[in-house]
Every structure is written in C-alpha cells, then in structure tokens.
Chain A
Amino acid sequence: MGDFMNIVVCIKQVPDTTEIRLDPIKGTLIRDGVPSIINPDDKAGLEEALKLKDLHGAHITAITMGPPQAEQVLKEAFAMGVDKGILLTDRKFAGADSLATSNALAGALKKLDFDVVITGRQAIDGDTAQVGPQLAEHLGLPQMSYVKEMSIVGENLVRVKRGVEDGYQVLEAETPCVLTILSEANNPRYMSVSKIIEAVREKKIEVWDTSMIDIDLEVLGLAGSPTKVKKSFTKGAKTAGKIHEVTSQEAVTIIVDKLKENFII
C-alpha cells in the first residue's frame, strides 16, 4: 500500500424494484415512473470505502457499467465523496450476463491501481450475487463476500465479518482483495449537491469504451454471455380458494373444521 489506499467501488444503476407493480389484468410489469437508484448493497459499499477514507485517508474510484444515463449514479457517488468516476459504456457491453459483466469490470480494473475492490453483494434487479466473486476470479484475487463489517487491521491487512446463516465468520486477507458488502453493513451518508457540481465542472467522470480496457472482445456483452434468457413471464395467479365474509365466531368454526380435517387438532 502506498501513502494512500486506492479503493475501487463497483456500483450499478438499478430500477427501484420495490416500486415495480404488476398490472393485475395484463399480468405485465409496470415500469413507467419507476425511479433508478444506486443499488443498495453497492451504496453500502461506497459508504464502507468512505469510512476508510475518513479514518485512514484513501483515494476512491467509483466505476459503473451501463448506458450513458448510468452517469447519474456516478454523480451520486461524487455527492457522497468519491474522488473519481468511470463510466464503462459501449454497445459491445450490452446484454451481458454476470460472467460477461465481470469480464468487462475486470478489464477496466486491470487498467487501474487498487488495494481493495468493493462491490455490493448483489443487485436488486437480478439478485444473483455473482459479479463480485467472478470479478475476483478474473483478477486472480482473494474474495471475502457477504461482508457486514470491515476494517484495516495492519499494513496491507483487511479484516471482515462475513455474514452466514447462523452468525458470522471473522476472516482476514492481504490486499489486494475483493470484498462484497451487505446493505446492512451501514447507513450510507447523505449527498452533498456542491460535490456534484464540482465533479461535473472538473470533469471528474471519465467515459471508457471497450478500446480502453484490457479484455478480449469475445467475452463481453451478449455474445460473451454463456447464459441466455429463453423466456420471461409473470407468474399466473393460482386459482383462488373460497373466500368467506362472516362473523368472527363463524370464522373460528371454519378454521377449526379445517384444522381438524388436516389432523392438526
């Protein structure tokens, strides 16, 4: 590690899936008016990086892959306090599954100096939790996933609490390493508008296309994605059962009969 730790945080612009509704008649997704946000786990990743910067000093680069309008999440990252933003945008990135996405990010990271790479555990539009570990593999670096707490415990040494089903593990790795962060790790700080203005004025957002990263084009985008969507559909509602509008006492009788029928009582 040099004087300052270099941290790269990978972030993604996602639709706020809690705002998506189903059209009850057509059974299709209503996406109009659904706001785009920084993926919550990624935002927690930004906050972890910023906490390290507050404590030890650090240079933070936020990187996102997406269409040109994904620049918005980089502006928000600046508003939280990052130092540099990279927008990976190129038609050749489009249609990428998690493996092709991780290839693109790895290609970009190979062009950067870093001690720690932070990603969110998973994105709320896909929920796969795959890009972080796949990125770590492409870079040949150790990974620590599902991180709910992290700290620097010595020269080049990162210690984390990794959330597991019945508690947590404490793990340590030397830098460089890749961490995937849980949104429960922290409460991200508020944004400062003046920092956005400064970022735009000083052109701190760099736009990179495929020519600027270190990667074989064949492993990018739709063509580089081993998985394909065969079809997508909304779940048909199952046939509704009987609905009773009765007094509370009658309701009790109906439920008790049903429990007896099923030998519960």
Chain B
Amino acid sequence: MNLNEYKGVYVFIEQKSREIQNVSLELLGRGRGLADTLEEELVAVFLGDGIEDQCQDLISYGADRVIYVDSPKLDRYLTEPYAQALDAVSKFEKPNIILIGATSTGRDLAPRVSARLSTGLTADCTSLEISEEKELLMTRPAFGGNLMATIICPDHRPQMSSVRPGVMQKLAVDTNRTGEIIEFGVNFDDSKFKVRFIEEVKEAKQLVKIEDATVLVSGGRGVGTAENFKNLEKLADNIGATVSTSRAMVDAGIMSHDRQVGQTGKTVRPDIYFALGISGAIQHIAGMEESEYIIAINKDKGAPIFNTADLGIVGDVNKILPLLNNEISKLTQKKA
C-alpha cells in the first residue's frame, strides 16, 4: 500500500429522514482542523435519497467538497447499501482519514466498512490530533473509562475513527463559504441486500436530548429519591436547565437512561453543569468533564467530584436546593 496516494479528511454525513445529524457537523468542525494541519482537503460524504439541496449546508459547516450519493436505496439506513456506497467512494477517492459519528448507525456501518477495506478503526475517540509524522492520533477511553489509549493506524489507509455525539464542536455556520458539490454514482449489488426493514418505532421517553442543553442540573445517589428529584426539576425550571443524572439513579429505576451522563450514557459539555449528590465515579467524569463550569454539592468532602468541580460545596444537597430555589424564585420575580 502506497500511503502517499491517500489524501484528504473525509466525514461520513449521517442523515435521518433527510435531517443532517449534529454529530456529522461536529466532525466537520474537527475535520477542518485536521485537514488544515495536514494541508489536505475536507470532504463530506453524504448518502441518502433526495438530499442534493442540503449539500451546500455541509460547505457552510466547513467542507471543501461534498460527494453525495443519491438513491432510493439509501432512503433509510441499512447496513449493506450504505456499506456498498461508502466502500465505493473510499476505493475511488482513497481518503487518508474517514471520520464517522459513533451513533447506532455509525457503530454499525464503520466496522463493516473497515473490514471491507481491510483497515483499522478506532471507536469512540475523545480526541483526534495529527502527530509530527502526520499520523492520526486517536485517543479513546478503555477499561470502562479507567484508562485512556492513543491509537495509531501506521500502515493501512484510510485511518478510520468514530466519535460520539457531543465530543467535538461544530464550526459557526458561514454561508459565504464556497466549495465543490459532486454527485457520485454507485453500482449497487442488490443481491447482497439481505436485511429487510419492517418498521421503525419511536419511543417518546427517549426524546430528551441532554447533550443539547446549555445548563444541566444533574443528580445522583446523594439526591436519592424521586421525591427529592422534584427539587432538581424546580431548579431546572427556574434557570432554563435540563435535568440529567448518573448511572446509579438509572439503575435504581428513578431516572430514564436517556438522561444519563457518562461512559455508558451521554457525553455532555454544557456551559454550566450542576453535579448534585454525585460522587464522581470515573465513568461519570468521562461524560461531563468538558463542561465549561462545574458546580458540585456533596456531603463527602473527599468525593472525587471535587477534583473536577470549579466550585465545590460540602453540604447536603437536599437541604441546600429548597433554599436555593426560594432565593432564585425571589430574584426572578423581582426582575419580572
């Protein structure tokens, strides 16, 4: 394999019902930095049905070039048609790097394509950098978040990496950016389409998107009961925040999984993160440490959360919250 033939940072653009997913825009944001460092181009690979008029948006978010495959066979995600399309684009274009969102789609597609291309794939990266040797340094947690490992893919191309939603940051939209938009034709082998889609069912309880909140009020074991969580909901209402939680409260059945922050939940980076009665297990820290400002309340002065917090209060969250809610209610009423 002649590694020098492989050029460019390529981002797989995921859409659902023709809506471009945020994680793909975030990857364009990070991909822009990588492409600039390498002095190579940033290419968006956009697969779907009836998606042509959205290609310009991808340029506004940082792509130099958009390659789109438009086919009814790509209407909704199924492994084989998507794998064939991404494989065909990769074999033709010879990318240096391919970035894919670590969603239920990306984590199904990326390994399938990596095996088809006989190349390496590193899942759920939390940091992507370029080394002095121009290699992609892919850093990810392992052992349940206890250890970080930096992975390289020295002798194979493309270097493939997946990144979870909320980890990278998208660029500000620039509608003045210009770039090239190219349609790519794929000769699909329908005989390999062996999985049949029957239906998709949306479950309403999954609709909370804590990763989009600018302020999160997060409660853990120290909050303890559903009754006490009402104090958190009130605080969240008062300040326009969203309630999130730790694994302990999800396991206890008090909170739903879609609100869980951490290694097995979601990665968040709000402007303000309240860690209330959360001790700060390493798995939880992994999901929230990038928050801009962290306020922790915990009874235990030795709780690890205080090592990550910007502001720490040693005290009983269930005593402090009602007082805090009163105080904030007074202040906001005065303003109104």
Residues of A within 8 A of B (CB): 15, 17-18, 20, 22, 29, 97-99, 102, 124-134, 136-138, 141-146, 159, 162-174, 177, 225-235, 237-238, 240-249, 251-256, 258-259, 262, 264-265
Contact A229 B150 (CB under 8 A): yes
**CB-based nearest B residue for A225:** B120
Q: What is the distance, in angstroms, from A123's C-beta to the closest C-beta of chain B?
A: 10
Q: What is the distance, in angstroms, from A31's C-beta to the closest C-beta of chain B?
A: 9
Contact B206 A166 (CB under 8 A): yes
Stretch at the interface among B32-40, B223-231, B312-320: B312-320
Specify the main secondary structure of chain B where it touches its partner: mixed
Contacting residues, chain B, for A167 (C-beta < 8 A): 200-203, 206
Question: Given A17, A97, A131, A252, which contacts B320 in the complex, CB threshold below 8 Å?
Answer: A252
Known: A97-B120, A98-B121. A237 touches B194 (CB 8 A): no
Number of A-B contacts (CB under 8 A): 247
Contact B123 A129 (CB under 8 A): yes
Task: Bin the interface of chain B by size.
Answer: 35 or more
- Determine whether B331 belongs to the interface, using a CB cutoff of 8 Å to chain A: yes
Known: A99-B114, A142-B195. A255 touches B121 (CB 8 A): no
Q: What is the distance, in angstroms, from B336's C-beta to the closest C-beta of chain A?
A: 12
A22→B147 CA distance, assembly (Å): 9
Q: What is the distance, in angstroms, from B131's C-beta to the closest C-beta of chain A?
A: 8
Interface centre among A15, A225, A228, by most B CB within 10 Å?
A: A228
Contacting residues, chain B, for A136 (C-beta < 8 A): 112
Contacting residues, chain A, for B107 (C-beta < 8 A): 129, 145-146
Question: Given A128, A137, A238, A253, which contacts B289 in the complex, CB threshold below 8 Å?
Answer: A238
Residues of B within 8 A of A (CB): 78-80, 83, 103-105, 107-108, 110-112, 114-116, 118-124, 137, 141-144, 146-156, 194-203, 206-207, 215, 238-240, 263, 271-272, 282, 285, 289, 293-295, 297, 301, 306-316, 319-320, 323-324, 327-328, 331-332
Contact A255 B324 (CB under 8 A): yes
Question: Given A127, A174, A265, which contacts B331 in the complex, CB threshold below 8 Å?
Answer: A265
A22→B148 CA distance, assembly (Å): 12
Contacting residues, chain B, for A171 (C-beta < 8 A): 78, 195-198
A144→B141 CA distance, assembly (Å): 26
Q: What is the distance, in angstroms, from A235's C-beta to the closest C-beta of chain B?
A: 6
Q: What is the distance, in angstroms, from B95's C-beta to the closest C-beta of chain A?
A: 15
Q: What is the distance, in angstroms, from A25's C-beta to the closest C-beta of chain B?
A: 13
Contacting residues, chain B, for A173 (C-beta < 8 A): 194-196
Contact B148 A248 (CB under 8 A): no
